[in-house]
Amino acid sequence: MTIKEQLASKIVGHWDFRTGSIADQSGNGNDGTFVGTPIWGNSPRGREIVSDGSTTAISLGDILDNVFAGEDAKFSITSVATPLAVASNVLVAKIFTGGQRQFGFRILTGKTNFFWYGDLTGATPIRSVIGSVAIDSYKEVHITMTYDGSIDTNNGLDRVQFYINGVRDTGTTLTASGGALSYIQDGPAPLGIASALTTANAITSGAGGVFKGGMKETIVWDDVLTNQQASQLYVDWQKEAHLNKIPTKTFLPEQVSDAPTISSPVLAYDMCVRGGMIYDTSGNGKNSTSIKGVGDIEGLFGRASYFRGEAGDVADIGRDTIGNALNGASGSSVSYWLNLVGFGAGGPGRNVVSCWSGAHYGAIVSTVEPSGTGYTLITRGRSQTADTLQANTGTTVVPLGTWVHVVSVMDYANGTMSTFLNGELYKTSAATFGSTTYVHSSANADDSIGGYVTTHNIIGAVDNMTFYDTALDVNGAAALYEKGRNKLSFYCTGEDWNVTPSAQSSGYLSNTPLKILSGSHNVVVTENNKKGVECATDGFLSVPIDSFFGELKFKAYNAISGGTIGMYISDGELTGAWNGYGAVITGGSDEAVISKVTSGAGSVLGTGSAISVGQTHVIKLTRKSSGAMKLFIDDEEEVSVTNTAYSSGARFLFFNLDAGDIISEVRFSPIIFDPTA
């Protein structure tokens, strides 16, 4: 039996982020709420909350004063995290200025620190205990802190013990000891994970800096763990197996074809964040040296890295990594999948990948440039340090919010630069290189993905990035595109979505791929602890897809005035030229129908029975290549029709929701056949 099982009655709060939830798993109902928008990341042990060090935390409300406060209070706090900074990182705190000062538990100057106030209005802690064991950045650490208010020896120093990875820190010292020894008071501040919080759940620096890094688990115990229990707790942690929750996609064999063979990559990054790292899968061992503020979301090939666009939020792959891999090559290429949703720090251009060598520019740089409502693509670089920077600048605007495949190529031998988009030539131009091969020189900054060290940052997702020591042509680019083209299905379990503190009415909804076109919407927790979208005021959401039809869960709040789910083939979003099909719940009668839309006007192709409002239904809209379509409600066939009017074009998946409606677990695939077959 594990220590958690043995001492289950002493656990008064348990937030195991590895499960992908901020709910209290102690059974006491102290569920968390997000402050800001932390990112869900992956670790070798499961999920983790990634806090950005400035704007994100978790609020648990004003709880557990009966545990923390009082003359003889006894409690323990366990925190498992991977800090990206160790100067001043709050783990758990219950403190704010103005009559709310209680305690703070943090990492301070690379050591563990716990401090408390004997007076809610006190300007400085009455006691502050700091450890002696070094806490390293970018390394997972298991910390248990114990506090025994009944102990007064050594001027209060002996009240606090720290256990780092199961071993007691015997070198603790007092760094603050002003005034008579007293105890933690009962105050109104919220208990915060990753930051101290005001009573309005706003970030405050009252207990030190906001945590930056990944947090995997926090436990509050209403007793002092013994040396043996703290040690065994760490041993148990090492044995616990939490697998990564990586949603998969199923494709019919005929939908996935092997791409033509091309040369093996010299570097390959699957862009799945695991244990604070992005790994090189080429076999050359060039893993990222660090990642800063990079989360991960559902991608095309499993997981994809999500870059938030703040200064320094990049995947650092080390100095000279790309240059050394390409040295002596007659050409160089980089291939990646990109879902860009915005532009971050720096500019004017934003770098998806940067290799900066010698006097500022380097082997190959693939850049996006804001343009209108989208962006253009640029390939930059040089063959040797003495060269003038060469640039291949495109003009065709690529829309935001959709997955695209990009290949940037520099052909030193033939003096050309090219960019390929979705398997086709996007732009090519002549280039004046100083050498017919790439001549490596030491870089003056680390190579990176998602920006240039601290600037030129992107906002969006990157998946499956590979580098080649050859100049790929259109056939090679098309081959790489084909590998992922049929994976452009839209599949949102919602697992990664951040619950929104209030309704949003513009931009992209939280960290979902859904664009708000009208109305206001929230990300909420639905049945079975899933994430979904709830409509606050009537309106539309959309997402570009490259797929036909699919399934989702839909809950109608009340009588429907025209809630629509389905895929529309259109040249733009919400134009009068819609052409496509949809599964529609009709107004008034609440009947499920298959509808055809021509130039924005809908016509019913087939009608099924009415749905029950206020209940969650699984809705599936299927289509075969023959044009045969079926609508299923809770796996019961409701409508069967055939129509071949539309089969190709620009594709957008639209949701037209009424206030109170909820959608969740949305999956669209190239073709979905009869689910009952």
Distance CA 287, CA 269 (A): 8
Distance CA 212, CA 54 (A): 8
Distance, CA of 192 to chain centre:
21
Q: How many CA atoms are closer than 13 Å to the CA of 298, on its beta-carbon side?
A: 22
Pairing of strands 651-657, 350-354: unpaired
What is residue 544's predicted lDDT score, i.e. its pLDDT?
62
Per the structure block, which two tokens stand in for 441?
């020189």
Distance CA 354, CA 347 (A): 13
Average pLDDT value for residue range 124-139: 90
Specify the 3-state DSSP secondary structure of 8: helix
Q: pLDDT at residue 588 above 90?
A: no
Tell me the pLDDT of the chain averaged across its residues: 82
What is residue 585's predicted lDDT score, i.e. its pLDDT?
75
Evaluate whether 253-485 and 490-668 have a shared fold: yes
Average pLDDT value for residue range 99-124: 90
Q: pLDDT at residue 248 above 60?
A: no
Whether the Cβ atoms of residue 302 and residue 281 lie closer than 8 Å to each other: no
Average pLDDT value for residue range 533-554: 75
What is the domain partition of the chain in residue ranges?
3-239, 253-485, 490-668
Distance CA 10, CA 13 (A): 9
Which pLDDT tens digit goes with each residue over 557-582?
765 554 555 556 554 555 566 677 87
Closest CA to 231 of 164, 170, 158, 171: 164
Higher pLDDT, 243 or 15: 15
96 pLDDT band, cuts 50/70/90, is confident
Q: Under CATH, which number does the domain 3-239 receive?
A: 2.60.120.200
CATH topology assigned to domain 490-668:
Jelly Rolls (2.60.120)
What is residue 212's predicted lDDT score, i.e. its pLDDT?
87
Residue 636 CB coordination number (10 Å): 11
Whether the Cβ atoms of residue 196 and residue 205 lie closer than 8 Å to each other: yes
Pairing of strands 531-537, 662-668: antiparallel
The label of the residue with tokens 């609020």 reads 59
What is residue 147's predicted lDDT score, i.e. its pLDDT?
98
Average pLDDT value for residue range 600-612: 84
Tell me how far apart the terminal alpha carbons of the chain are, to the nearest angstrom: 45
CATH topology assigned to domain 253-485:
Jelly Rolls (2.60.120)
Higher pLDDT, 408 or 478: 408
Which segments of 216-298 does DSSP mark as H helices, in order?
227-239
**Span of 252-266, 370-384, 474-488 with lowest mean pLDDT:** 252-266
Q: pLDDT at residue 349 above 50?
A: yes
Residue 170 CB coordination number (10 Å): 10
Which pLDDT tens digit goes with each residue over 287-321?
887 777 687 776 777 778 888 787 888 899 888 88
Model confidence, pTM: 0.52
Distances, alpha carbon 548 to alpha carbons 208, 351, 488, 629, in Å:
51, 33, 11, 11
